[in-house]
Amino acid sequence: MEQYFRCVEECNRGRERSSEFLRFLVEGHTVGYIHPRFAALLEKFPQVFTVATTSTGYASVEIHERLETPEQRTTAVDDALRVLRRDGFVPGWRDEHYPVVLQFGSPAFFSLERAAVPFFGTKAYGVHMNGYVTNYDGSKQLWVAKRSKSKQTYPGYLDHLVAGGQPVGLSCSENIVKECEEEAGIPKQLAEKAIPVGAVSYETIYGEQCKRNVLFCYDLELPLDFEPSNKDGEVECFRLDSIPNVVQSLGNYKPNCALVVVDFLFRHGYIRPEQQGYLNLVQKLKSGECL
């Protein structure tokens, strides 16, 4: 069980530092957490952010109250972030927006460049799909992607067959179908058979970043003769791995993918109640605020 707990810990590292972070507020609601060093950068945009202070330092960061609509906030924040990007403070710019919400599906307060999300500690959602085959003897194998060496994050690590962030304006089901096509060449008709099976969540703190992520998990059973093919250059190669091999290589997975793999192992009976820590692990797969 130790390797499974290591996956959970890897995704939830740095949480002992959460008290360092300031609350990030919109309309009086806490929607994220910001490190004081990043707050100091935001202080330079007093028309966009209200950085409250006390005698001991920063207290909170709030979207300026004159920014009343989601559109106004989105534009003003984006303009400020492009200045910070130019100065090298927001690496990995994506030109892709994530909604800032209290809970999944609730109205967005505004939307935020994906690369900036961990600096604001706002919630991020993703869809992660385990693609597997069932062999004639009943054994299962997982399709595993090896991430391209040119990826910004975790180059060369193992990955799901299909995974992607949940951007503005797309439902999870639509997103899975889109990512299936782009990342693994899975045609729509087959991709639509992907089954939503629950969610995992985690919270990572490193440096000035706070990641609060919820991943919607999907399973897709693929025909034995299906061969994935990558179209967006993000994958170096695919391979079909036996469950024992998957378990053995969990440490080589991108950490949040390892969580989704562990969830798969649970739901398919490869981890059993007799194993010490079973219930603890069930719980820990939802260590972040799963809402």
Q: How far is the CB of 194 from its own copies (least distance, A)?
A: 8
- Nearer to its own copies by C-beta: 54 or 276? 276
Can you read off the two tokens belonging to residue 214?
Answer: 């919820």
- Nearer to its own copies by C-beta: 42 or 177? 177
Collect all residues with Cβ–Cβ distance below 8 Å to 230 and sequence separation of at least 6. Answer: 145, 183, 184, 185, 238
Strand partners, 133: 141
Contact characters 229-268, its own copies, x per CB under 8 A: -------------------------------------xxx
- Nearer to its own copies by C-beta: 85 or 267? 267
- DSSP one-letter code for 170: -
Contact characters 262-291, its own copies, x per CB under 8 A: ----xxxx-xxxx-x-xxx-xx--x---xx
CA–CA distance, 25 with 123 (Å, rounded to integer): 13
- Nearer to its own copies by C-beta: 175 or 204? 175
CA–CA distance, 277 with 57 (Å, rounded to integer): 42
CA–CA distance, 108 with 29 (Å, rounded to integer): 12
Contact characters 74-103, its own copies, x per CB under 8 A: -----------------------------x
- Nearer to its own copies by C-beta: 18 or 280? 280
Please provide the DSSP assignment of 222-252 as one string.
Answer: PPTT-----SSS-EEEEEEEEHHHHHHTGGG
Q: How far is the CB of 166 from its own copies (least distance, A)?
A: 9
CA–CA distance, 222 with 203 (Å, rounded to integer): 32
Q: How far is the CB of 95 from its own copies (least distance, A)?
A: 25
Should residue 2 be labelled a site residue for its own copies when binding is judged by CB under 8 A?
Answer: no
Collect all residues with Cβ–Cβ distance below 8 Å to 197 and sequence separation of at least 6. Answer: 217, 218, 219, 263, 267
Cα radius of gyration (the chain)? 20
- Nearer to its own copies by C-beta: 88 or 273? 273
Question: Which residues of this chain interact with its own copies, rule CB under 8 A?
Answer: 103-105, 171-173, 195-199, 214, 216, 266-269, 271-274, 276, 278-280, 282-283, 286, 290-291
